[in-house]
Each structure stands twice: as structure tokens, then as C-alpha cells.
Amino acid sequence: MLLIPCPWCGLRAESEFSSGGEANISRPYVNNDLSDNDWADYLFYRKNPKGWHQEQWHHVKGCRRWFNVERHTVTHEIRKSWPMNSSSDSND
């Protein structure tokens, strides 16, 4: 089982969380200039790297807060976690 470090509650079992996917994705400004391809890119395409990756997690069965995690997609090692409204560098 994956152990996830919640910035507020500490280390907890993966079963307490819900994954929110890739972190730091900006929703495009929706106007008449936004193409269907640009909207599809935002909705469906993600990096999916082999290696370190930043993700969003929601502590559903705990503090109910959203936060970011840096996780290795092959080993599932978690390097750090931090609140969504702060920089990843502030949690070193």
C-alpha cells in the first residue's frame, strides 16, 4: 500500500485519499478563439512521464484538503508533498 504524507495530517494510507491527476494544469480561457483541439488537449492529454511527476491528491477521509505530491511513477516513491497554494520549493 502507498503511504501518502498529507501536509496537515502526516503519513496516511492511500485508501484515505482520492487522486486528482496531474498537478499544475491551467484551465484555458474559454472564449470564441478557443479551438476544439485546444479544449481537447486540456481535457484529455497529460504528460504521463516515466519518473518524477507532480500530482494532486485529496485527503477524503481526513482533513478533506487538496495538496500536491511529487511521486516517482515507476517506484511510487514520494519525494515531498505541499499545500496547493504554496511552492513545491518551500517544503524541502
| Domains of the chain in sequence order | 3-28+36-91 (3.30.2270.10)
Average pLDDT, the chain: 91
pLDDT confidence band for 58 (50 / 70 / 90): very high
**CA distance linking residue 39 with residue 42, whole number of Å:** 5
pLDDT confidence band for 89 (50 / 70 / 90): low
Tell me which residue of 53, 45, 81, 89 sits closest to 65, measured CA to CA.
81
